[in-house]
Amino acid sequence: MARPRKKGFRDLPPNLIYDSYTGFYRYRHPETKKYKQMTKNKSKAVAAAKQLNSMLMTGQDLVAEVLGGGQRLKTFIPEVVLPFFEKKEKALAEKTLKAYRQQAGVIVDGLGHCKVSDVTVLQVDEFLRQFEQTPNTLNKYRGFLGQIFKLAMAKGLRADNPALATLKETVRKKRQRLTWDNYQTIFQAAPPWLQHAMTLSFITLQRVNEVARMQFTDVKVENMPHIGAVEFLYVIQQKTKKHGNAAFLKIEVNPELKQLITQCRDDIASPYLIHRRPSKMPRHEKRVSMKTKHHYTQVTPEYISKEFSKVRDELKLYENLDLNARPTFHEIRSLGIALKENQGHDAQALAGHTNRHMTDHYKQGHDVVQWTCVSLNKG
């Protein structure tokens, strides 16, 4: 009978030992019983040992399968991971859950045959390499896999996280900033409802999701001490509300915003500030053709962004740039932040940023150049 391991090394997989004298981890071949020095890095040694065990200890692997000790990702993800996210105390947005389900399907297709306890860093890295041309996508899958294995560790199915041992890709932002002149050019060519959406985003510094969600009933009148009646536009930023009060905004309606809200009230009966009459009218107003819409006049965030890009491309303002480098509707928010900051206003609170670093990030690329006047005349 093998001697029990010391308490500090009980989490090591079979055949892996730590040599405290040299500081290296060593692996013992299960057949030849010979030791091979590996590395001083514990996570790498554990991952390598598990992979070697899966290749060399086939009999034990079959026993684990019979005894139920080898749960695979194809069952662990749908039976444990997805239900965990769906029942979290702080509920995730449906859009996030939808993305997780889609990513889960791809992971099951690529790594579903692997046992949760035996997935190696190498296997995760090889899976992620299929996304190396799209660093953003690679990082999203790496992050989701990191959460999967974090949950596996909490369940006692493994002692390490092979996803977080892989390298995170550096994403270089390619999208060009939107200039004030090009904003005005696009604005003049846009249909009225899109003009309203652009102005609303520019004035309030809100994302397209919030712009599409704003309703006339979100404007409320309050009696303020020593001031009197004041109108406020209430906004809840869905993306950042989990981070605290910074996402819950009560924006004072100034004359500029008041005029815009008045312009949004047209001959179309709609509860939403940004609305349009669809080309195909439903037989009854309560019928909605899309699950993401609550009223047939509502304009979805996706449609706002698509139509903005359509007008931008029709004007050929950025035809020399790749599609993913051209400024999107979201850049209106960035432009608005930069202009307010350059006028001496602090845009952090209005933008709903929890820290100053994020506001400064939005300003980058909009810096005002101070020209130095130089004379060619001597003296």
Name which of 67-81, 143-157, 177-191, 251-265 the model is least confident about.
67-81
- Cα 182-187-193 angle, rounded to 5 deg: 150
For residues 212 and 222, give the distance between their C-alpha atoms in angstroms, rounded to a whole number: 24
Residues 43/47/48/49 CA torsion (nearest 10 deg): 100
Q: Specify the amino acid at residue 216.
A: F
Q: CB neighbours of 217 closer than 8 A, spacing ≥ 6?
A: 271
SS (H, E, C) 188-203: HHCCHHHHHHHHHHHH
Q: How many CB atoms lie within 10 A of CB 124?
A: 26
Name which of 60-64, 104-108, 253-257, 259-263 the model is least confident about.
60-64
Over the stretch 294-317, which tens digit does the pLDDT of each residue have?
888 999 999 999 999 999 999 999
pLDDT given at position 66: 45
**How many percent of the chain have pLDDT more than 90?**
37
For residues 142 and 20, give the distance between their C-alpha atoms in angstroms, rounded to a whole number: 33
* Structure token digits, residue 169: 């890709």
For residues 82 and 139, give the distance between their C-alpha atoms in angstroms, rounded to a whole number: 19
Q: CB neighbours of 369 closer than 8 A, spacing ≥ 6?
A: none
pTM: 0.54
pLDDT given at position 90: 66
pLDDT given at position 280: 67
pLDDT-derived band at 285, boundaries 50, 70, 90: very low
- With left for phi above 0 and alpha for psi between -120 and 50, is residue 29 left, alpha or beta? beta
CB 53 within 8 A of CB 15: yes
Max intra-chain CA distance, the chain: 96
pLDDT given at position 283: 53
Name which of 79-83, 112-116, 218-222, 351-355 the model is least confident about.
351-355
pLDDT given at position 370: 47
Over the stretch 9-19, which tens digit does the pLDDT of each residue have?
566 788 888 88
Predicted confidence (pLDDT) at residue 334 exceeds the cutoff of 70: yes
